Structure 1
Amino acid sequence: MTETTGHLDRGNGTKLAWAHQTGREPTVVFLPGFRSDMTGDKATAVAAFCADRGVSMLRFDYSGHGASSGDFLAGTIGAWTADALAAIDALTTGKLILVGSSMGGWIALLAAIARPDRAAALVGIAAAPDFTQRLMWEAMTASERATLQRDGVLHVPSQYGDPTPITQALIQDGANHLLLIGRIPIRCPIRLLHGQADPDVPWDFALRIAEQAETGDVRVTLVKDGDHRLSRPADLALLRQTVAALLEQDSP
């Protein structure tokens, strides 16, 4: 199956890089995490899986990420969700299986809420809704909060490379998109994969999502020795199995 690539003009000076495979629906859409992109292990593993099975698949980079244009520091949860919806609306038709990793899990949930008639199922991989509040703002010291408010950005150490820039706009906008504060109005099947050795996003996030989602069809799979990325061969096999089961469930 042939994969086509291109850039989607957002009309605001930003162009989103995308890769799309045509095939049978529902279309699998991969939503990357914070500072990640569509070339990561999980995104490419899902793309290869879909290609092997003739399934339509879309992956893309948010503004300020990967091959897309835009300033990462100008990005927010609201802006990246709008990117996701623009890509979905312009490049896909019909039903969707939304697969989101970390922050992409939050954006997948927001996209399912925004497009309830199109969301056939959702897969969260170490899904991190509300992380700007629970894992960033609430974890900051008084000194760090003062620096953020004074400078508009705070750089915190990261085990994955360069320090992570956290902007005041990211924190403030994130507060407008919190989901773990009440019922989550999603009625499609949800599958949540989370490592119990995840040092970044506690695995109780998966349990909170499962408890608060309105759908009765939620399954949580905990990987006892799994880290945040869940990109080892066994983890990727689990992801493929999860998506395969949802595709079979959706088949006539």
Structure 2
Amino acid sequence: MTETRLDLPDGRSLAYRRQPGRGPGVVFLGGFRSDMTGTKAEHLAAWCATERRAFLRFDYTGHGASSGAFLDGAIGDWARDALDAVTALTEGPQVLVGSSMGGWMALLLAKRVPERVHALVGIAAAPDFTEDSMWGEFDAGQRAALASAGRVELPSDYADEPYVITRRLIEDGRANLVLRDPLPLPFPVRLLQGTADTDVDPSVALRLLAHAECADMRLTLVKGADHRFSTPECLDLIGKTVAGLLA
């Protein structure tokens, strides 16, 4: 399947893949520096095709095949991309499936357009990670470098090059935090989390579970699963979770 593009009035061009099917549809929201061709997105695409369920996946600006440079982007930009994609490319309520940073994007969507959310699935969801997992863990030297140079480099377990974290990413993240204020989620929420995740500690899922105002919210911990959450067993759990929300 080839990408189609959503060209927006301000010059952004979002690459996306959309599969027709019945509603409520499923929308996959990827993670930080990831794209829509990852294992979880492909698995959900295949699952939705089998179920004849509408499915949308896309790349944020600066990610994958979309326009823009990654280092120019920040949380608010990517949340705007998600809102524009869901608004323009889907109809009616959707099941939002957010992986890592995508979980934060899903929660921001839930705050802004709750009427468009049928249910939400967070896979190693990472709300507020720029503040809690980046800024909160920077040492004095890294904070000074961020202030003076506007950027700092962090080692990556997923690429040869380090992560470059910009001052704008941190500052913009603070304008989009979801765990500091009331977080009403008036629909079913399922959180899937691996106990061996070294990127998003399971305590984040527990904090989200305790903080959100939701009448139907469940957390499933998978012993030994890491941040990728892409073993056959984990992928099967994702499919069964979405299926349960659509039953």
TM-score by length of 1: 0.95
- Could you tell me which runs of 5 or more consecutive residues in structure 1 were left unpaired when the two chains were aligned: none
- Could you tell me which runs of 5 or more consecutive residues in structure 2 were left unpaired when the two chains were aligned: none
CA distance in 2, matches of 1:138, 1:211: 20
1:179 alignment counterpart: 178
2:134 alignment counterpart: 136
In structure 2, the residue corresponding to 1:192 is in which secondary structure? strand
Q: CA deviation at 1:207?
A: 1.3
1:159 alignment counterpart: 157
In structure 1, the residue corresponding to 2:122 is in which secondary structure? strand
CA distance in 2, matches of 1:159, 1:4: 29
Determine if contact 1:4/1:21 at 8 Å carries over to the other structure. no
Mapped pair 1:58 → 2:35: no
The percentage of counterpart residues that share the same residue type is: 54
CA distance in 2, matches of 1:218, 1:186: 9
2:96 alignment counterpart: 98
CA distance in 1, matches of 2:139, 2:29: 31
Q: CA deviation at 1:4?
A: 7.0
Determine if contact 1:96/1:119 at 8 Å carries over to the other structure. yes
CA distance in 2, matches of 1:130, 1:8: 27
User: What is the aligned length?
Assistant: 246
RMSD after superposition? 1.0
In structure 1, the residue corresponding to 2:23 is in which secondary structure? strand
Mapped pair 1:224 → 2:219: no
Q: CA deviation at 1:10?
A: 2.2
Q: 1:88 aligns with which of 86, 89, 93?
A: 86
Q: CA deviation at 1:14?
A: 2.0
CA distance in 2, matches of 1:39, 1:233: 17
1:207 alignment counterpart: 206
5 Å matches for 1:30-69? Answer: 30-69=28-67
One-letter amino acid of the structure 2 residue matched with residue 246 of structure 1: L
Determine if contact 1:112/1:186 at 8 Å carries over to the other structure. yes
Q: CA deviation at 1:12?
A: 2.4
CA deviations 1:200-224 (Å, max 9, x no partner) are 1111111111112111100100011
